[in-house]
Amino acid sequence: MPAPSHNAMIQTLSSQEIEQWLTEQHADHPHPEFHKLRAAHPRQSFENLPPRRLLSLAHTSLAWLLGENERPALLVVHEHGVWASSELPRLFGLIRGDACSTEALESRPGHAFAPDQSDRLREAFRLTMCFGWGVRLHAAETARVVQTDHDGHLTRLDPAAPATHPITSE
């Protein structure tokens, strides 16, 4: 699977292609009991943050995920349509490079970013947070995962770090 270049559109992936990307990039697969894993940092609520703070939270979370070096990353949309009045899928489509209809997200929920597309990854992640979409972010060569949900919670998971807070289904 070729990596997109800086000027190329974001490569969208089906569920099967997401699994292939995770394997090829040596990234951690979504744990079947993801909600029971322990967080490296407490779950943070961003629902009522002012825009400046929300952008900062997105930036620091991506820096934590990607580390010092730019690397391929994968953004998977797993929740959308919950807060339809706050969504602007056509705006997200500008980053995706397509019309970004609901059907497009359901059939191709993965978004693969090349190392030189970190700015576009940041833009996409910030938009999903503003829309109230649930996403998982993976980076190549790491088990770390950043996850958001439709209720405005952000969790950073690192299976290698000492557990500080359990994640439980509420």
Span 3-46, pLDDT tens digits:
444 456 678 889 899 989 988 887 765 554 454 444 445 566 77
Could you tell me the residue ranges of all domains in the chain? 12-26+34-162
Q: What is the mean pLDDT of residues 91-118?
A: 75
- Tally helices (H) and strands (E) across the chain: 5, 9
Residue corresponding to tokens 């979504």: 30
Is it the case that residue 152 has pLDDT exceeding 70?
A: yes
Long-range contacts (CB closer than 8 Å, 24 or more residues apart) made by 104-107: 104/12, 105/77, 105/80, 107/14
Q: Are 41 and 164 in contact (CB under 8 A)?
A: yes
